[in-house]
Homo-oligomer: A and B are copies of this chain.
């Protein structure tokens, strides 16, 4: 394992230090592993708190800022944060208007965020939660509550954050998060493993000619290991899974191609080209798009495609200005 780190057990600590130092115009520290916008709490605004394991930047802390989240909690690499930093972030962003938790559906995150929610409610804060589960490959549609949250988190954070920025109520913010999540689907593909720094060895092994379809964002094996193929074929398989899972017909959509960490932007654009072509062929109007790294898995090579079925409100919200630590748009 070769990484630009010191002691692997210090990596998250040092990363948080660097992150805060590099983004001090947007965020402040509110605990050892928790941050909030410098302007938090914002009078009358519902606070959005996101979080999860480290190793997924820009998710989660990278999305704190105007138009997305208000606070975030950092976990160890690929491990949900404990309740404490979540409580710290919640306390820091709560203006009295309430706080919404948004995170991916993993057992650890559910346990820890629920505990934080309980504690914060006991302290008198109005906290609600929407657990995100966009990953088509992780369970059949009739067990959607077992699906995990991956690259589509980006869109739900973005739509919900834009709504909260308009000073919507907690009910409204909760509702749109639920709606955005229900209309978001993602499928990923992995070409290589990643290495958890404090472990030091790749999590799994793929042969030189193998890829994993349906891969998550932690290096967990996907649903199917197969031979690598021309990317157009791979994208077709991914889009088939997405389009077969939700009725997008005739909709406006948001389309994103997310790099898992080790795949160059050049390849992501090649993926986008084909995904867009398939949208066009299916009569979907791509109104919003994003190509780049949104929810990563350390240095894993691979990509995921997310497709959101938009309605007018979601589409309009995506036009708003966003200025977070790692995602900005004038």
| Chain A residues close to B by CB (< 8 Å) | 2-7, 11-12, 14-19, 21-22, 54-55, 57-58, 62, 66, 77, 189, 191-192, 208-209, 211, 228, 230-232, 234, 261-274, 276, 289, 291-293, 296, 298-299, 301-303, 321, 323, 326, 328-330
Contact = CB atoms under 8 A, between A and B. Distances in A.
Contacts of A234: 4
Contacts of A269: 14-19, 22, 57
B261 A18 contact: no
A280 to B, nearest CB: 9
B270 A6 contact: yes
A127 to B, nearest CB: 28
A236 to B, nearest CB: 12
A2 B301 CA distance: 9
Assembly stoichiometry (copies): 2
Nearest to A325: B291
Contacts of A326: 265, 292
Contacts of A6: 230-232, 270
Q: Which of A14, A17, A228 has the most CB of B within 10 A?
A: A14
Given A22-B291, A273-B21, A291-B18, A267 B5 contact: yes
Contact of A264 (B209, B273, B298): B298
B266 A55 contact: yes
Nearest to A21: B276
Q: Which of A6, A54, A269, A274 has the most CB of B within 10 A?
A: A269
18 contacts: A2-B192, A4-B189, A5-B230, A6-B231, A6-B270, A14-B273, A17-B269, A17-B273, A18-B270, A18-B272, A18-B274, A57-B269, A264-B296, A264-B299, A265-B296, A321-B330, A328-B329, A330-B330
Contact of A323 (B2, B230, B299, B330): B330
